[in-house]
Structure 1
Amino acid sequence: MNNNSSTSNSANNTKTNLSEYKIIMIDNFDSFTYNLVNQLKTFVNDVQIYRNDTSIEKIATVCENENNKVMLVISPGPGSPKTAGNVLELLKLLKGKYPILGVCLGHQAIVESYGGTVGHAREVVHGKSHQLDITSNGETLFAGITPFYAARYHSLAATTMPENLDVLAFCEEEVMMVQEAKDKVIGLQFHPESILTPNGSELIKRILTNLIS
């Protein structure tokens, strides 16, 4: 009973710290977007959704009006970063100004925005849970929640990595998680909102806290 109470208090404290922030979700026309939104709302009070064809100027203005208390989340979606509306241009403009989390296609867009490349994955994976290999750079975020199993739904993956992105996790030699700590940017190739990622919510809580620290 005491353990449950402690866990509940910890979650409430995290939400209090994050509640000052608004999340701007860039929706890449994906069926997983609202599952991810529901997960994020566990930790923040406000998630606003804009499609990836929304003008860059509008998104930038929305962010500026939040007095720096805003995070961007780039959703999963079909296609590649180059076909994802204004996402690459948005990242070019806003990375380093606001914390950013990218999931699946959003992760791939982050890789490309820093100069990496995205191409065909070694294996097409749809709806499978795989154990991640955590690097030394990822040990802090994954402390106490390993082995970590993650849901994978992707046919594309990072094929070359830019030097300024740290890899936090791999799976079968595919890059699964990246970070640019100075810019406060994190990308996840896997789906933290899926039931096939049992500790996904705990990881998201840690990521959001890390991004605003």
Structure 2
Amino acid sequence: MIVIIDNYDSFTFNIVQTLAAAPPGAPADWQQPDIRVFRNNKITVQEIADMAPDRLLISPGPCTPKEAGISVEAIQYFSGKIPILGVCLGHQSIGEAFGGKVIRAGRVMHGKTSPMHHDNRGVFFGLDNPFAGMRYHSLVVEEATLPDCFEATAHTDQAGWL
């Protein structure tokens, strides 16, 4: 089961639809996944733990990790137990959960595309490499503030890892 913490963003259900449509040749556990979506202040970390998800996704949202409900707490709880993916605010929340510093981006990217280079694993399986990815962000995680346990799986030519 995939649990998605929704940080009150309209893009969340685009992510749900994308996850539900596994690409040809994807691993069997990607086919017709059980996806459950919860608002960031309508569920507790313990309630999620009781569901025993095998993956966690933290959605985008209109705020910073400090205002993202249980997002950072959930990341800290599930870290090392199940795979966690963060999109935009979710990505920033992962960084903050591990001591990273969220800062203003050197270049604001609202509605702009960039070539995304990746390792063809996980969520990138079967995608063109590079692919044109749409970007909407004005905050980033300062890479130098992250611990060595992070593995960069995608990057752009302009802004580093994703």
TM-score calculated relative to the size of structure 2:
0.80
Distance in 1, Cα, partners of 2:74 & 2:56: 10
Alpha-carbon distance between aligned partners in 1 of 2:108 and 2:159, rounded to the nearest angstrom: 11
Contact 1:24–1:47, Cα closer than 8 Å, also in 2: yes
1:24 equivalent in alignment to 2:3: yes
8 Å CA contact retained: 1:108, 1:157: yes
Equivalent residue for 2:34, pick from 46, 50, 68: 46
Whichever residue aligns with residue 105 of structure 1, its letter is L
Q: Which residue of 2 aligns with 1:58?
A: 47
Indicate if the aligned counterparts of 2:119 and 2:154 stay in contact, CA closer than 8 A. Answer: no
Hey, what's the Cα distance between the residues in 2 that align with 1:42 and 1:144? 13
2:76 aligns to what SS in structure 1? Answer: helix
Q: Which has the higher helix share?
A: 1
Identity of aligned residues (%): 41
CA distance in 1, matches of 2:2, 2:154: 24
Q: CA deviation at 1:144?
A: 7.5
Query: 1:100 maps to what in 2?
Result: 84
Task: Return the offset for 1:45.
Answer: 3.2
Deviation, structure 1 residue 140: 4.6
**1:116 and 2:100 equivalent?**
yes
Call closer, same or farther: CA 1:45–1:171 in 2, change over 3 Å.
Answer: closer
Residue 73 of structure 1 contacts residue 102 of structure 1 at CA under 8 Å; is this kept in 2? yes
* Unmatched segments (≥5 aa) in structure 1: 1-21, 178-213
Task: Let me know the Cα RMSD of the aligned residues.
Answer: 2.0
Distance in 2 between the 1:111 and 1:75 partners?
14
Q: How do residues 47-196 of structure 1 correspond to structure 2 at under 5 angstroms?
A: 47-53=35-41, 54-63=43-52, 70-132=54-116, 134=117, 138-141=118-121, 145-159=128-142, 160-177=145-162
Q: What is the total number of aligned residue pairs between the two structures?
A: 147
Structure 1 counterpart of 2:59, which letter? S
